Structure 1
Amino acid sequence: MTTTQTKTAEKTGVTQNVESFLKGQLSHAQKRFEGLEGEANKAFKVLETRGQEAKKEVQALWTKVQAGELRADPRVQELTKKVDAAGAGLRKRLDGLQAKVVEAVGVASQSQVQQITHELGRLSKKLDVLLKPTRRAHGTTKNSGSAASSPRA
């Protein structure tokens, strides 16, 4: 054999080795791909089943909401109480903040205006009681024509 033939034989052997190596790698990759594809199909089926179950649950809840049955559920009642309590706490905090802002501005708050209105009403009633005898006295003096008996400032 000549050196050219030897080199050609070596190249052919290397080429065959590379081809067999690549075929083996390709075969192995195809097997892994088929395994991954099978796992993906299983996962998809599980997700599809879960989605259908969730859809049924949502439809059942929607039916209960429309029928008003959901309000009788103790969990919903507990959540309603928690939401109401949180709302009340938020209202208190906002009222306190509003009072601080109003105080900083120097304007009477709503509760202060209500207290003032209540106090004015109470004082007005007292004045009416105190002024009734005076008004009667003025009414009789005007009718009698005596200007000297009416008090003057």
Structure 2
Amino acid sequence: MSRYKQASHVYWRCQYHIVWTPKYRFRILKNKVGKEVFRCIHVYCSQLGCEVVELSVQVDHVHLVVKVPPKLSISKLMGALKGKIALKMFSKFPYLRKNKLWGSHFWQRGYFVDTVGINEEIIRRYVRHQEKVERQNQLEIELD
């Protein structure tokens, strides 16, 4: 299979590593909330014509490696993902909206994005192993 995708007049391979966090980096992306965020990212990415390559939802941030067609800008993708997921979370888990600090915003305003080029496997491995690193850090903190 080719590493490149094809549209009517273009061959492309646009891959990005994106990281974003909940408002105030609250540690709320766990259990049912984290699973719903994971599911929503897959659903909304496929609706936008994107392909999720790697995804890791940590308790306080999300790592996503995604293939994005050239007709879709990263800012539009992130606006759609963060906006739709926030609406879904507030409707499915109404207790989240009760915290006055949210101000009806689920996500932090910005995000990190980097293109995935020659270091693709390194970045994919990093995203895959984020959960292990997070657990080890928590154990070290608890033992101190």
TM-score (norm 2): 0.21
Which of the pair is proportionally richer in helix?
Answer: 1
Point out which structure has higher relative CO (alpha carbons under 8 A, 6+ apart).
2
Higher share in strand = 2
Provide the TM-score with structure 1 as the length reference: 0.20
Based on CA coordinates, which of the two structures has the bigger radius of gyration? Answer: 1
